[in-house]
Amino acid sequence: MVIALILALVAIGSVAFHLFNPWWLTPIASNWNYIDATIAITFWITGVVFTAVVLFMAYCVFRYRHRAGQKAAYEPENKRLEWWLAIVTGVGVAAMLAPGLFVWSRFVTVPQDATEVEVVGQQWLWSFRLPGKSGLLGTSDASYVAAENPLGLNPNDPRNRDNIVITGDDLHLPVGKTVKILMRSVDVIHDFYVPEFRAKMDLMPGLETRFWFTPEKTGTFEILCAGFCGIGHPQMRGNVVVESEADYRGWLQKQQTFAQLSAQKVMKDHLADARIGPEKGEE
Amino acid sequence: MSDVALGAGGTIPPAEVEDVELYHPKSWVTKYVFCQDAKVIALQYSATALAIGLVALVLSWLMRLQLAFPGQFSFIQPADYYQYITMHGMIMVIYLLTALFLGGFGNYLIPLMLGARDMVFPYVNMLSYWVYLLAVLVLAAGFFVPGGPTGAGWTLYPPQAILSGTPGTDWGIITMLASLILFIIGFTMGGLNYVVTVLQGRTRGMTLMRMPLTVWGIFTATVMALLAFPALFAACVMMLLDRLLGTSFFMPAIVAMGQPLNYGGGSPILWQHLFWFFGHPEVYIVALPAFGIVSDLISTHARKNIFGYRMMVWAIVGIGALSFIVWAHHMYISGMNPRFGFFFATTTLIIAVPTAIKVYNWVLTLWRGDIHLTVPMLFALAFIVTFVNGGLTGLFLGNVVVDVPLSATMFVVAHFHMVMGIAPILVVFGGIYHWYPKVTGRMLNDVMGKFHFWVTFLGAYAIFFPMHYLGLMGVPRRYYELGDAAFVPPSAATLNIFMTVAALFVGFAQLVFLFNLIWSLFKGNAAGPNPWHATTLEWQTPTTPPPHGNWGKQLPVVYRWAYDYSVPGAKQDFIPQNQPPAASLAT
C-alpha cells in the first residue's frame, strides 16, 4: 500500500523536479541548437516512458497486492502484446536516433569556410595558436617543446613564423564566424569544454582532434578541462572572449607571432646569461 | 532407472550421480577454509566482496564530504580525493559487484538451482576464491604503499595514469594493475566452472529452457566476462610494461612538466578501446545477473509466472551479444574517427529494445499477480524504478550527439550510478533477503529490513536523480572542487550538501543491514526449507541449509519450468520444479 503510493510519488515528484528545479542547460552561445533540440526530444520520450512505467507499476502494486483470496492469473506468454511493445519501443528509439544521427552528420562535417584555431593543452593550462597572414598553421611535435617553444612548433617550418601564439591568456573569437578547433596535447589527455558552446572534444596526445562551431553570442565564456588530467585538473581554466569583428581585429593586432616570441626569448635569455653568468644554466 | 515420461518436455536420461563419500571434507580446514564446496566458496566470495565494499562505502562518504564542503577538511587534499574516486569506482565495479554476482550468487545458486551436487571443478573453484582474495589484498595494499593508491580515475587512462601529475604513480598504479591481473586469473578459474556446470552439470530434466532466469543471467554474464576480461588483462600487462620497462604501447612522444619523456609511437586511445571492449560488456556482466535474479524475485513474490520467459531468455542472450559492439560509445569525444559515432550510436540504441522488453515483462509479471510486499519484493520494485531511470538516461548518452555536451559531466556520474550502481545493488540486497533463509536457516529481521529498504531506495534516488541536472548544467565530473564558475549558480552548492546528507543516511542504513545479517544469524526466526513457497530447486533440498553434496542420496528430477505459480487447478499456488506431473493436480 505505502509502496504503491511512494512509487506514484517518485514518478510525479521526478517530473515536478524536472520542471521546477533551477538547474538547467546554460544559455546556448553557439550554433548547436540542434543538440539542445535532440536533448529536448529525448527528454520528452524518456520522460513519458519513465512516468508511464512507474505509474503502471504503482497501479499494479496497489490493485494486485496480496489480500485474502487473491490469486494470480496464469499467463506464461502473450506474443501479440510482447511484439506490440517491442515495435512501439523500436519506434520510440528511432525517433531519438534519427535526429541524433542527422545532427551528428552536421557535427562531423566541417564547413569549408571555417577558420582554423589550434588549442594546445598541457598540465595545467590552455594555449592557443592562430594562423597568421598566410592562413596556414605550421607543423608541430611534442619533441620540439622547450621553454621558448611551449607549443612544440617546428622551428624549421617557415609556415610557423607568422603563426600567432597565445599562452597564459584568453582566446578571442569573432562572433558569427565558424571556427574549426584543432586540438593537440603535449602531455596527457585533456578536453576542451565550454558549456555554452555544447560541443567538446578530447585533446589526445599523439593525435590531432577537431570539432567546429559558430559562436553566436558575444561575451566571455569559461573553458573547463573535461578530461581528467591529474591533480590540477579543476584549475585548468581559460576563457574564450567572443566579440565583434572590429574588436577582434584590434585584439589580434596586439598578439605576437611565433617568430617574435622566439626572438624575444633568445634576447631575454641572452641578457639574463650576461647578467648572472653561466651558473644559471638552462631554464 | 529407465526413461521417465515427461509429458511435453521429452525424456529423462538415466544417468545418476552418486554421492561419493571420499569427496567430503575431512577436517575443519578443508570444510571452512580451503573448501571446495561451492556454497562455502560463495560465502567466502560474498564476505570478502562485502568487506572491501565497505571500504568503497567509506570512500564515497569522504568524497561526498569534499563535494559538499570543499576545502573544509584538511585530510582531504586533491590527491586524496582522486585516490578515493579511483578506488571507489574500481572496488564497486570489479571487486564488489562482479565478484558478488558471479563468485557469490553464482557459486551458491548455479549448482543448487540446476540440481547439481557442486561445480564441476571444485578444486579450481576453490583456487578461484583464493586468487580473488589475493587480488583484493594487493588492491588494498595500495593504500599502504608509498604515495598511496593510484588516483588515475577508475578508467586508468594513460598517459596520465603513469605520469607524475597523477597521484599514486610510484606504486599505486602497479598494485592496481597487478591486482586486476590477479582478479582476472581468479575469475577465469571460477568462470570456466560456472559455464561448464551450466552446460554439463544440470540434473535430469533440467533443460536449458527450464533453467531459472537467475541461472540464465549469471551464465550469460560469465560467458561475456570470459570474452571481455582478456582485453583488460592484455591492456593491464601492456600498461605495466609501459610503467616498469619503458615500453610505449600507450605512450606517444610527450613531455611531462616541460621535460621530454623517453616514450614514443604508442597510442593512448588503444587503451581506451581495450578498456571499453572490456568495460562495456562489464556493465552487463553486472546487470545480467541482476536481471535474472530480479526476475525470480518478482515472479516468486508476485506468485505469478515470469511473463514471457522465452522472450526474457532471448533478451538476456541478445543483450549479451550486442554489448560487445557498443563499446566505443564511451569514446565519442575521444578523438577517434568521428564517423564511428554513427555505428556505435545505432548499436547502442538498438540494445534499448531487448532491455525495454525485459522491463515490460517484469511489470507485466506484477500485473494480475498476487503481490506479496516482502522485503525482497520491495527491493525488486525499487530496482525497476532505478533501472528504468538509469536506462533511459543511457539513451541520452548513447545517442552520440547528445553525449557531446553531457559526457564527462556529473550527468554521466548520475547515470551510471543509477543504472549499474544503485539498481544492481538493490538486487543484491533483494537477493540476500530472499536467499538468506536458505543459507542460514533463519529469516532476516523484517523491521530492520524495511528500514534498510526505505532509506536505501529513497536516499539513493535523492542522491542521484538531482545529480543529473548538475551535469546538464555543465558541472564536470572528477573535480576536486568546482571553484568559481560563472555558469553555476550558488544553489548548486546547496544541492551538493543535500546529496551528501542523503549519502550519509544511505551509508548508515547499510550498517543496519550488516547488523541484521549478524543478528539474524542467531536471533532470526526459523525459516524452514521453503519460506517463500518458491518453485526452484534450491528450495527443495532435503535439509536446510543444504549440506555438502546438496541433495543427499538422490539427485532431484525436474519435470517442469521454474515458474509454475498459481497454476489453475493446482492444490497450492506453486508447483516445485521436481514435482512429478500427477502429484500437482487437485484431488
Q: What angle do CA A237, A239, A245 make, to 5 degrees?
A: 165
A42 and A13 share a domain?
yes
Residue B8 pLDDT: 44
pLDDT tens digits, one per residue of A16-56: 999 999 999 999 999 999 999 999 999 999 999 999 999 99
What is the helix (H) or strand (E) element at residue A242, kind and residue range? Answer: strand A238-243
Does any CB of chain A come closer than 8 Å to the CB of residue B167? Answer: yes
pLDDT at A208 over 50: yes
A126 and A259 share a domain?
yes
- Give chain B's mean pLDDT: 93
**Which residue spans within A58-217 are E strands per DSSP?**
115-122, 125-130, 164-167, 171-174, 179-185, 190-193, 200-203, 209-213
Residue B503: which of B467, B549, B542 has the closest Cα?
B467
**Edge-first strand listing for the sheet containing A164-167:** A164-167, A125-130, A115-122, A179-185, A209-213
A86 and A173 share a domain?
no
Place A280 in a pLDDT band, splitting at 50, 70 and 90.
very low
Rounded Cα–Cα distance for residues A136 and A160 (Å)? 8
CA atoms within 13 A on the CB side of A43: 15
Rounded Cα–Cα distance for residues A147 and A283 (Å)? 7
Residue B433: which of B547, B359, B527, B292 has the closest Cα?
B527
Q: What angle do CA B449, B450, B455 make, to 5 degrees?
A: 105
% of chain A with per-residue pLDDT over 90:
78
Name, in order, each residue with C-beta under 8 angstroms of B172's C-beta and a sequence gap of 6 or more: B83, B142, B145, B147, B148, B149, B150, B151
Question: Residue A49 domain-assigned?
Answer: yes
End-to-end CA distance of chain B: 28
**Residues of B with Cβ-Cβ distance to A33 under 8 angstroms:** none
Burial A179-189 (b: 16+ CB within 10 A, else e): bbbbbbbbbbb
Question: Does the distance separating the beta carbons of B335 and A209 come in below 8 Å?
Answer: yes
A222 phi-psi bin (left φ>0, alpha ψ -120 to 50, beta other)? beta
Q: Is the peptide bond before B159 cis (omega within 30 degrees of 0)?
A: yes
Question: Residue A28 domain-assigned?
Answer: yes
Question: In sequence order, what are the beta bridge partners of B149?
Answer: B172
Distance in Å, alpha carbon of A132 to nearest chain B alpha carbon: 26
Check: CB of residue B294 under 8 Å from CB of residue B428: no
- Hey, is B5 helix, strand or coil? strand
Distance in Å, alpha carbon of A240 to nearest chain B alpha carbon: 13
A12 and A96 share a domain?
yes
Does any CB of chain A come closer than 8 Å to the CB of residue B364? Answer: yes
Q: Within 10 Å of residue A260's Cβ, how many Cβ atoms?
A: 14
pLDDT at B7 over 90: no
% of chain B with per-residue pLDDT over 70:
95
Amino acid letter, residue B103? G
Q: What's the pTM?
A: 0.93
- Hey, is B186 helix, strand or coil? helix
A85 and A164 share a domain?
no
Distance in Å, alpha carbon of B33 to nearest chain A alpha carbon: 42
Rounded Cα–Cα distance for residues B251 and B492 (Å)? 38
Beta strand B259-260 with A171-174 is: unpaired
Residue A270 pLDDT: 65
Residue B234: which of B184, B187, B186 has the closest Cα?
B184
Say which CATH number the domain at A127 has. Answer: 2.60.40.420
Q: Is the peptide bond before A124 cis (omega within 30 degrees of 0)?
A: yes
Q: Which whole number is the average pLDDT over B55-76?
A: 94
Of A108, A127, A160, which marks where a domain is finished? A108
What is the helix (H) or strand (E) element at residue B256, kind and residue range? Answer: strand B255-256
- Hey, is A126 helix, strand or coil? strand
pLDDT tens digits, one per residue of B135-161: 999 999 999 999 999 999 999 999 999
From the list A42, A209, A228, which residue is nearest B160 (CB)? A228
Place B583 in a pLDDT band, splitting at 50, 70 and 90.
low
From the list A42, A78, A196, which residue is nearest B395 (CB)? A42
Place B71 in a pLDDT band, splitting at 50, 70 and 90.
confident
pLDDT tens digits, one per residue of B96-123: 999 999 999 999 999 999 999 999 999 9
- Hey, is B115 helix, strand or coil? coil
Q: What angle do CA B545, B546, B552 make, to 5 degrees?
A: 145
pLDDT at A277 over 80: no
Does any CB of chain A come closer than 8 Å to the CB of residue B573? Answer: yes
Distance in Å, alpha carbon of A196 to nearest chain B alpha carbon: 9
Does any CB of chain A come closer than 8 Å to the CB of residue B71? Answer: no
A28 and A134 share a domain?
no
A85 and A127 share a domain?
no
**Residues of A with Cβ-Cβ distance to B309 under 8 angstroms:** 76-77
A240 and A135 share a domain?
yes
| CA dist list (Å): B574 to B300, B367, B373 | 9, 18, 17
A199 and A126 share a domain?
yes
Of A108, A131, A159, which marks where a domain is finished? A108
Rounded Cα–Cα distance for residues B298 and B286 (Å)? 19
Residue B571 pLDDT: 87
Beta strand A238-243 with B255-256 is: unpaired
Question: Residue A277 domain-assigned?
Answer: no
Q: Within 10 Å of residue B144's Cβ, how many Cβ atoms?
A: 10
DSSP label at residue A146: B
- Hey, is B277 helix, strand or coil? helix
Residue B2 pLDDT: 36
**Residues of B with Cβ-Cβ distance to A191 under 8 angstroms:** 333, 408
Q: What angle do CA A54, A83, B8 make, to 5 degrees?
A: 110
pLDDT tens digits, one per residue of B403-446: 999 999 999 999 999 999 999 999 999 999 999 999 999 999 99
A123 and A208 share a domain?
yes
Check: CB of residue A119 under 8 Å from CB of residue A197: no
Distance in Å, alpha carbon of B577 to nearest chain A alpha carbon: 16
pLDDT at B508 over 90: yes
pLDDT at B373 over 70: yes
Check: CB of residue A165 under 8 Å from CB of residue A127: yes
Rounded Cα–Cα distance for residues B267 and B242 (Å)? 12
Question: Residue A26 domain-assigned?
Answer: yes
Check: CB of residue A248 under 8 Å from CB of residue A174: yes
Query: Considering only A73-82, A115-124, A143-152, B179-188, which range has the smallest mean pLDDT?
Result: A143-152
| CA dist list (Å): B218 to B98, B223, B287, B308 | 10, 9, 9, 19
**Residues of B with Cβ-Cβ distance to A10 under 8 angstroms:** 385, 461
What is the helix (H) or strand (E) element at residue B201, kind and residue range? Answer: none
Name, in order, each residue with C-beta under 8 angstroms of B276's C-beta and a sequence gap of 6 or more: B327, B328, B330, B331
Distance in Å, alpha carbon of B570 to nearest chain A alpha carbon: 11
Question: Residue A276 domain-assigned?
Answer: no
Amino acid letter, residue B227? L
**Residues of A with Cβ-Cβ distance to B563 under 8 angstroms:** 76
Beta strand B255-256 with B259-260 is: antiparallel
pLDDT at B582 over 90: no
- Identify which has the larger pLDDT, B526 or B582: B526
Rounded Cα–Cα distance for residues B435 and B155 (Å)? 34
pLDDT at B454 over 80: yes
End-to-end CA distance of chain A: 73
Question: Residue A280 domain-assigned?
Answer: no
pLDDT at B587 over 50: no
A136 and A97 share a domain?
no
Q: Which residue of B has its CA nearest to A46?
A: B392
- The runs of H, that is alpha helices, within B245-267 are none
pLDDT tens digits, one per residue of A112-165: 999 999 999 999 999 999 998 888 899 998 888 888 888 999 999 999 999 999
Question: Residue A70 domain-assigned?
Answer: no
Q: Work out how many domains chain A is built from and give that number.
A: 2
Residue listed under C-alpha cell 541449509: B545
pLDDT at B585 over 70: no
**Residues of B with Cβ-Cβ distance to A140 under 8 angstroms:** none
pLDDT at A273 over 70: no
**Please, what sign has the CA dihedral across residues B396, B400, B402, B404?**
positive
A154 and A89 share a domain?
no
Residue B287 pLDDT: 96
Q: Which whole number is the average pLDDT over B326-346?
A: 95
Rg (chain B; Cα; Å): 24
Rounded Cα–Cα distance for residues B20 and B555 (Å)? 13
Residue listed under C-alpha cell 512501439: A88
Burial B8-33 (b: 16+ CB within 10 A, else e): ebeebeeeebebeeeeebeeeeeeee
Question: Residue A35 domain-assigned?
Answer: yes
**Residues of A with Cβ-Cβ distance to B378 under 8 angstroms:** 3
DSSP label at residue B551: S
The parent domain of residue A13 ranges over 2-65+75-108
pLDDT at B191 over 60: yes
Residue A262 pLDDT: 80
pLDDT at B6 over 60: no
pLDDT at A281 over 70: no
Question: What phi and psi, each to the nearest 5 degrees, are found at residue B562?
Answer: -85, 5
Check: CB of residue B273 under 8 Å from CB of residue B344: no
Question: In sequence order, what are the beta bridge partners of A220?
Answer: A241
Burial B323-361 (b: 16+ CB within 10 A, else e): bebbbbbbbbbbbbebebbbebbbbbbbbbbbbbbbbbb
Residue B299 pLDDT: 97
pLDDT at A278 over 50: no
Residue B83: which of B22, B158, B1, B144 has the closest Cα?
B144
